[in-house]
């Protein structure tokens, strides 16, 4: 079943000047001094790095007596690069919750299962069954919108609250009372990307897009934004049937097709397939500075391509770029919990906030069962106009005083709205350097 309530996002204003006036300043992973500082106090009450705990769930811990945080995240498949930061987000949040006393004395724990990807839905189907049997308080995931659409009804039918830190497909807005997300729908990212392309002076846009809910949905928004600005789509357009299947490995025909349509710019909407598409575009002579990527593939390709391959290309990733101290803590937990520091931070903040919000919902409701989490999730995010707080410890103090709260964490999202989406969110615009690393150049904010 694929019910859809399309979210209408306020159009991000076009123009370089507007992007320059965005709420956060320019910054990058390699220039921490220039990164946004909006979440400096997000984790003041958290433990020191040498006190991180890796609180995995025991078999007998259920939502009856613990905040059992399940995860359905990509340990394998073409989104596996997103697994480490998302797992670290969950693990660090659980560590911080326990350091602050748990949920009214109940300990928090995490149990992450593999989501796989959309090329083999049996992986997520099996993991959903395992998680439901464990009686979780909340399930964080999936990363892929198509994977969530495969399991969302199963979780909802069992009254399990699911919170995705990375789903962006508009089909999931308002899908179920038990489905939430801390990433914005594609309306805001697609609009930002389409605006970026037209602001860069390109009017004829071609798409290399895989046949996936995420890919086609985002393509549709970018295409609409380009057309609204007076541009056109030359290849891979909605309804033309040029999409390729997920998992495809050779792209000479698709690249020849899009180049024959004579676009000004090419948008690549894919996951791991991008590692085959980019070399093909390069070999067929395309100017790689006219390539645009999105969150599914805007990652560090320094180990994948020859120097200079992607120099000048751009991409978008939903979410504020967290401050250096949060990234340090996230990577510090990864060393303790997963045995290695992080190389990528995508959706780590959104995973952290998804977990903290679940704990605060349980705290507010006075129980750790999933129905209680669902009933209070939007309220603790600020939907009831509560007092702002930036850490689990500080927020629980306000709740102890009988106050409504607005948790404002490192992801920078606004309160959860009536469709269980963030009411506002940031989109980072990244540019590739000569080493094929994606460097944050600007952050823009969109709201519903």
Q: How far is CA 125 from CA 14, 72, 141, 351, in A?
A: 42, 10, 13, 21
Q: Are 372 and 349 in contact (CB under 8 A)?
A: no
% the chain with pLDDT above 70:
88
Tokens of 27: 């910054």
Q: For residues 200, 261, 287 and 21, what is the CA-based torsion angle, rounded to 10 degrees?
A: 10
Q: Which of residues 306 and 78 earns the better pLDDT score?
A: 306
Residue 307 in this model has a pLDDT that exceeds 90: yes
Q: 3-class DSSP state for residue 57?
A: coil
Beta strands 108-114 and 438-447 are unpaired
Q: What is the pLDDT of residues 363-403, one digit of tens each?
A: 999 999 999 999 999 999 999 999 999 999 999 999 999 99
In sequence order, the 6+-apart residues with CB closer than 8 A to the CB of 244 are 208, 209, 210, 211, 251, 254, 273
- Rounded CA-CA distance 359/371 in Å is 13
Residue 261 in this model has a pLDDT that exceeds 90: yes
- Rounded CA-CA distance 168/156 in Å is 19
Q: What is the pLDDT of residues 139-154, one digit of tens each?
A: 999 999 999 999 999 9
In sequence order, the 6+-apart residues with CB closer than 8 A to the CB of 272 are 77, 78, 79
Q: Are 292 and 266 in contact (CB under 8 A)?
A: yes
**Left (φ > 0), alpha (ψ -120 to 50) or beta: where does 126 sit?**
alpha
Q: Which of residues 383 and 447 earns the better pLDDT score?
A: 383
Considering the entire predicted model, what is its pTM? 0.80
Residue 306 in this model has a pLDDT that exceeds 60: yes
Q: Are 349 and 89 in contact (CB under 8 A)?
A: yes
Q: What is the pLDDT of residues 95-143, one digit of tens each?
A: 999 999 999 999 999 999 999 999 999 999 999 999 999 999 999 999 9
Tokens of 204: 């004829």
Q: What is the pLDDT of residues 47-74, one digit of tens each?
A: 444 589 999 999 999 999 999 999 999 9
Phi, psi of 58 (to 5 degrees): -80, 160
- H helix intervals, 318-416: 324-337, 348-365, 370-378, 392-400
Q: What is the pLDDT of residues 153-180, one digit of tens each?
A: 999 999 999 999 999 888 999 999 999 9
- pLDDT computed for residue 50 by the predictor: 58
Q: What is the pLDDT of residues 315-362, one digit of tens each?
A: 999 888 899 999 999 999 999 999 999 988 999 999 999 999 999 999
- pLDDT computed for residue 95 by the predictor: 98
């Amino acid at each position: 079943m694929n019910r859809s309530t399309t979210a209408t996002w306020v159009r991000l204003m076009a123009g370089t000047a507007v992007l320059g006036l965005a709420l956060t300043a320019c910054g990058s992973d390699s220039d921490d001094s220039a990164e946004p500082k909006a979440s400096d106090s997000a984790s003041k009450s958290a433990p020191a790095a040498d006190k991180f705990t890796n609180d995995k769930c025991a078999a007998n811990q259920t939502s009856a007596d613990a905040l059992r945080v399940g995860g359905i995240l990509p340990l394998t498949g073409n989104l596996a690069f997103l697994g480490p930061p998302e797992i670290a987000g969950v693990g660090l949040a659980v560590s911080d919750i326990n350091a602050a006393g748990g949920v009214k004395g109940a300990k928090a724990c995490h149990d992450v299962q593999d989501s796989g990807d959309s090329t083999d839905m049996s992986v997520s189907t099996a993991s959903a069954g395992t998680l439901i049997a464990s009686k979780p308080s909340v399930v964080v995931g999936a990363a892929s919108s198509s994977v969530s659409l495969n399991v969302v009804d199963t979780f909802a039918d069992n009254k399990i609250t699911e919170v995705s830190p990375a789903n962006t497909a508009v089909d999931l807005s308002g899908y179920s009372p038990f489905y939430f997300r801390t990433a914005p729908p594609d309306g805001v990212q697609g609009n930002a990307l389409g605006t970026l392309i037209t602001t860069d002076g390109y009017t004829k846009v071609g798409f290399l897009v895989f046949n996936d809910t995420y890919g086609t949905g985002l393509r549709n928004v970018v295409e609409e934004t380009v057309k609204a600005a007076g541009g056109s789509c030359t290849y891979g357009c909605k309804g033309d049937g040029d999409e390729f299947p997920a998992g495809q490995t050779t792209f000479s025909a698709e690249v020849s097709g899009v180049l024959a349509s004579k676009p000004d710019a090419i948008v690549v909407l894919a996951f791991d397939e991008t590692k085959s598409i980019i070399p093909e575009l390069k070999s067929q002579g395309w100017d790689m500075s006219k390539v645009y990527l999105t969150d599914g593939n805007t990652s560090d390709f320094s180990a994948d391509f020859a120097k200079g391959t992607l120099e000048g290309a751009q991409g978008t990733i939903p979410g504020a770029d967290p401050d250096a101290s949060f990234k340090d803590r996230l990577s510090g937990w990864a060393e303790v919990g997963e045995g290695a520091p992080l190389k990528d931070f995508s959706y780590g903040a959104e995973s952290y906030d998804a977990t903290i919000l679940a704990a605060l919902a349980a705290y507010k409701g006075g129980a750790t069962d999933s129905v209680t989490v669902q009933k209070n999730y939007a309220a603790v995010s600020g939907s009831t106009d509560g007092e702002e707080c930036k850490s689990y410890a500080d927020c629980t103090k306000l709740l102890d005083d009988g106050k409504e709260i607005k948790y404002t964490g490192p992801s920078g999202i606004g309160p959860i709205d009536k469709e269980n989406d963030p009411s506002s969110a940031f989109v980072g615009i990244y540019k590739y350097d000569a080493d094929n690393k994606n460097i944050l150049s600007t952050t823009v904010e969109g709201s519903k």
